[in-house]
Structure 1
Amino acid sequence: MNFVPSSFFITLIAFGILYLLLKKYAFGPLFGMMEQRRTHITEQILQAEQSRKAAEQLIAEQKEAIHNARNEAKEIIEQARVTSSKQADELIGQAKAEASRIKEEALRDIENEKNKAVAALRSQVSAMSVLIASKIIEKQVDEKSQEQLIEHYLKEVGGKL
C-alpha cells in the first residue's frame, strides 16, 4: 500500500462534502427527531410522576375519608345505643309508675270494698240485733230458750256473711 497524497486529499474532500451533506440533510432531521423523542419521553416521565403523586394524594384522601366515615359510624352507633338505653329506662320508669298507680288504686278499691262490707255487716248485725231483741221481747222465754234463740240468730248471721 502506497501513500498517494492526491488520493488522500480527494478522499478527504469527498468525505468532508459527504459529511456536510449528511449533516444538512440527514443528521439535522435525525438529531431533531431524536431531540423531539427525548423531549417527549421526558414529558411522559414528568406526567407519570405527577400522575403517581396525584394517585398517592387521592389514596391518602380516600383513606382519610374512610377513617372519618368509620369514626362517624362508631359515633352514630354509640349515640343510638345511648338513646335506646335512655328510652328503655324511661319506658321501665313509666311502667313502674303505672304499676304503682294501678296497685294503689287496687288497694284503695279493696279498702273501699272492705269498708262497704264492714258497714253492710254492721247494718245487718244491727238489724239482726233489733230483730233478736224484738223476738226476745215477744216471746218472753226462759234463759235456756233465750240462749238457743241467740245462737240460732248468730248462726244465721254467720251464714249470711
Structure 2
Amino acid sequence: MLKFDFNLLWTIVNLIIFYLLMRFFLIKPIKKTLQARKELIDNQFKEAEDTVNAANEKMADYEDKIKNVNTEAKEIISDARDKAKVEYNKILDKANNDATRLKQDAQKQIELDTENARRDVKEELAKLAMEAAQKVVGESVSAKTDAEIYDKFLNESSED
C-alpha cells in the first residue's frame, strides 16, 4: 500500500508556495513589461500608419494643386490668346477703316482737284475766247455782251 509521508506533503506545499511567489514576484512583472512593450509597439505602428496616411493626404493635396495650377495656367494662356485675338481684330479693323477713310478722302480730294482744274481750264478758255472774239468783233463789245458770251461758253462747255 501506499504510504503517506509528511515530507511529500511539505514538498508539495513548498512547491505551491514557490509557484505563488514566483507568479507574484516574477511572472506578473514580466507580463506587465511584455504588455507595456506590446502597447508601445502597437502605438508606434499606429503612429507610423497615421504618418503614412497624413503623407498620402498631403501628396494627394499637392497633386490636386498641381493639376489646378496646370488647369489655371491653360486657362490664363487661353484667355490671353483670346484677348490678343480680339485686340488684333480691333487693330486690323481700325487700320482697314483708316485705310478706307484715307482712300475716300484721297478720292474726294482728287475729284475736287479735277473739278477745280476743269473750272480753271474752262475759265481760261472763256478768257481766250473772249479775247479772240474781241479781236474779231473789235472794240465795240460791251461788258454786257462779254458776260453773255462768257455764260454761253460756260453752258456749252459744262454740257460736254
Moved more, 68-77 or 91-100: 68-77
Q: Which residue of 2 aligns with 1:96?
A: 96
Matches within 5 A, 1:8-157: 16-138=16-138
CA separation in 2, counterparts of 1:18 and 1:82? 93
Moved more, 108-117 or 21-30: 21-30
Q: Give every structure 1 segment of 4 or more consecutive aligned residues whose post-TM-superposition deviation is greater than 6 Å.
A: 5-12
Return the offset for 1:126: 0.9
Return the offset for 1:12: 6.2
Return the offset for 1:34: 1.5
CA separation in 2, counterparts of 1:7 and 1:65? 83
CA separation in 1, counterparts of 2:30 and 2:136? 154
Q: Which residue of 2 aligns with 1:143?
A: none
Moved more, 61-70 or 32-41: 61-70
Amino acid in structure 1 at the alignment position of 2:98: E
Amino acid in structure 2 at the alignment position of 1:27: I
CA separation in 1, counterparts of 2:134 and 2:31? 151
Gaps in structure 1 of 5+ consecutive residues: 140-161
CA separation in 1, counterparts of 2:82 and 2:118? 53
Q: CA RMSD in A?
A: 2.6
Return the offset for 1:72: 2.0
Amino acid in structure 1 at the alignment position of 2:61: E
Tell me the matched-pair count.
135
Gaps in structure 2 of 5+ consecutive residues: 140-160
Partner deviation per Cα, 1:59-91 (whole Å, 9 max, x = no partner): 122212211221121122112112211210121
* Amino-acid identity (%): 25
